[in-house]
Structure 1
Amino acid sequence: MTLKIISRATWGAKPWNGTPASVPLSKRTEFYVHYDGAHHITRTGYAIMRAIEAEHLGNGWSGVGYNFVIDQAGNIYEGRGWGLQGAHCPDHNTTGIGVQFAIGGDQEPSAKALAACRALYEEAGKKTGRTLAKRGHRDGFATACPGTKLYAWVKAGMPAGNYEAAPNPGGSLPSGGSEVSRAQVTISDLTYGYGAKGDHVTKVGRALVKKGFGKHYTSGPGPTWTDADTRNYQDYQESLGYSGADADGVPGVTSLKELLGTLPGKVTAKPAPPFPGVGKFGPGKSNASITLLGQQLVRKGYGKHYTSGPGPKWSDSDRKNVRDFQLAHASLKGDADGIPGPLTWKLLFS
């Protein structure tokens, strides 16, 4: 069996925004399965990878965070590949190879996608010389990912039929063709691309018109992103020197910032949830506040002691992780007992 992996160069990846660290295959011990979240995925072909790349670059990452991505046709795309550290599961990005299925919500993974993932898993075993642990994202982090259906498949041992390499999917046609990209991307917590709605869509359209790229509008612009927005944005991208896969009419971080002067809608810090009281934490306790605490510890990078969970039952792992957080903050070192008080809670959620 020859495994076909579509390279970064083929799908049109941008240069790394700071090259990720190298990881020797000897350190790989886990194989993590992910999905795209709560929403159905309708984009196809190379647009899948460009959308993921735009979102991850918007997060300030080096590029696509997954090592590989698999679409419903059974195509396997290179993200960070075999030798680079991923950005897909905190505390497991070195040991774990992260693979995303390009599906979301209650979408059924196709037989071709499952077969491709199984083949990729077996290839990983050959390259590392060991049997990798099969994991869903939720096994290493407090999340619903990879969804109920994929997680059940992982826990069943990842059964699949025979793998057959799919033909190259290709990308969207150039401006003026009969088809335009229907991909969506999320940049600074706002969605762009076909079907996106909101004042930010209108703002992009007006900026395009102001710069002389509004010829495809017959109404609007905004508040709903249409094919006209995509064609106009594609014209704008080409004026900046983009071509091919990079000029698909779907905004990227660089071109959007160039158009608007700034990236709108950056996520602002949410106020800390009310402190539930010291009595909610400690041996024998079990409640939602413990789960919330653990999830935030993981987000902040203080989850190394968890082997399951976090929450809802208090464990010694919670105490150790809280203590690590307290010891890392000068104002908490004098009371680093592993039990969160009001100040620990405030700093943790700030």
Structure 2
Amino acid sequence: RPGAERHAPEPPGAPAADGPGTPQGPRAPLHGPAAPPAPPSAGTKAAALTRTEIVERAKTWVAAKVPYSVTSYWSDGYRQDCSGFVSMAWKLPANEWTGSLAGLAERITKEELQPGDILLFHNASDPEKGSHVVIFGGWTDAAHTVYTAYEQTPPHTRKRDTPYAYWTDSAKFLPYRYTGVTAGKAASPAAGGPASQGVASHGVAGYPGRAMFRPGAENPYVTRLGRQLVRKGFGTHYTKGPGPRWGEADRRGVEAFQRAQGWRGGAADGYPGPETWRRLFS
């Protein structure tokens, strides 16, 4: 089912406003003489990519100023709308849409965002209103309030500084990470964040990945985290020594540590990302 994209009005002094929402195309194979316009099989994804590759691929459309279109396909076979643009940057084997991209990614936090990740709003109850997706290119300020966005939007692909999470419907744009991304040097430094260290999320020394700290997880990393929280003075929520099973005491301890860094909202959700881990063990 096709969705629609809402494009935001520009701030004062910026280029002309994008105008009303624009439909996006449905899931479809890459366009070409031998590729009929039929939906591909579900669950397909491309080979692994580094963050540098994702951003460099996005930049090719920016440089070419690929015109926005829901019915046209660029020379590389990808549809010239927002979801086709992300499909191209992620080198997916088909043109996805905002309703399917999350199935090829994992939900992350604002704190964990790095170049090559996306900010996605899919309005499932009414896809014709507001659905849109942009590629995160890195923070432009130390407070993490503005970031570089690569997006396909009328009249053509562009790169621009964008307030987090987006110009409109900001609370509805959620950060996701392509499951095929591999550790590698970030393409665009992020001011004050993990990308500024030139590492991917799993490149932070000792950080095992967010999956180790999901509800019900049980592993040695949970114990290691808890002991470090106690050493740092954030172990007051434990009624007994930290153990290998992730629990509410661990989450509350991490949240207290995150708030001590001055973070609020989603950046202080109690789940350790790479920057939390780096600061906790530094």
| TM-score using structure 2 length | 0.39
**Greater strand percent: which structure?**
2
**Greater helix percent: which structure?**
1
Instruction: From the CA coordinates, give the structure whose radius of gyration is larger.
Output: 1
| TM-score using structure 1 length | 0.33
